[in-house]
Amino acid sequence: MGARLASGLVLAAVAALVIGLSDVLGLDLQHVALLGAALGGALGLIPHRSDWGKLAGFGVGFVVAWLGFALRAAVLPDAASGRAVAALIVVALLAVMAAVSCGRLPLWSGLLGAAAIVGAYEEVYTTAPSQFVAESPAAATTVLLAAALGYLATSLLPVIRPEGRHAGPERLEHESAATESDIDALMAGEQQ
């Protein structure tokens, strides 16, 4: 319970810090602070065999979803059918990414990356689709900054076990593998 509470409190402080820095530095982070911090925090908390794999999966998901917006702006109709085609392409590409990488780039982290840009930019895009080139970089950088801070807040905390001692690397590796296989089975739709 202590590690969960510490992670949550640090993440809460980071979200507040992002909003405070936004105001002080004149950045437009306020509307994406909680979104980015929450997604980055989840990325940091979910175990995976490699931090680089889950970070790369997040990055690929982010870029693929951003390209989905580009596709919508360039050739797809600004209607439900255009959004549906873009969503189909984005999620299908992320599934292919996870399959081709044999899970090294997990589907869940790609979906978190896609959710980050969609959550930060969908409303702005809907208001002015023709402004994609001008407006999407600002949305991308602001939510990525918030997500990076959320990730750092949760991934840099020491891992404390209920027994009150720090887990050794071999124990963490074993437990992470078990948890990871449970998450992978859940994502594949298998019942435990």
pTM exceeds 0.85: no
More confidently predicted of 159 and 129: 129
Amino acid identity, residue 144?
L
Which is nearest to 116 in space by CA: 94, 84, 85?
A: 94
The rounded distance, in Å, linking the Cα atoms of 55 and 109 is 7
pLDDT given for residue 166 in this prediction = 41
CA distance 66 to 117: 7
Which pLDDT value is given to residue 164?
A: 41
Q: Which two tokens stand for residue 172?
A: 């963490």
Pairwise CA distance, residues 177 & 48, whole Å = 7
Under 8 Å between Cβ of 11 and 44: no
104-109: average pLDDT: 95
5-56 tens-digit pLDDT: 777 788 888 888 877 877 776 666 677 888 888 899 899 888 888 889 999 9
Rg of the chain (C-alpha set): 18
How many Cβ atoms are within 10 Å of 40's Cβ, its own excluded?
29
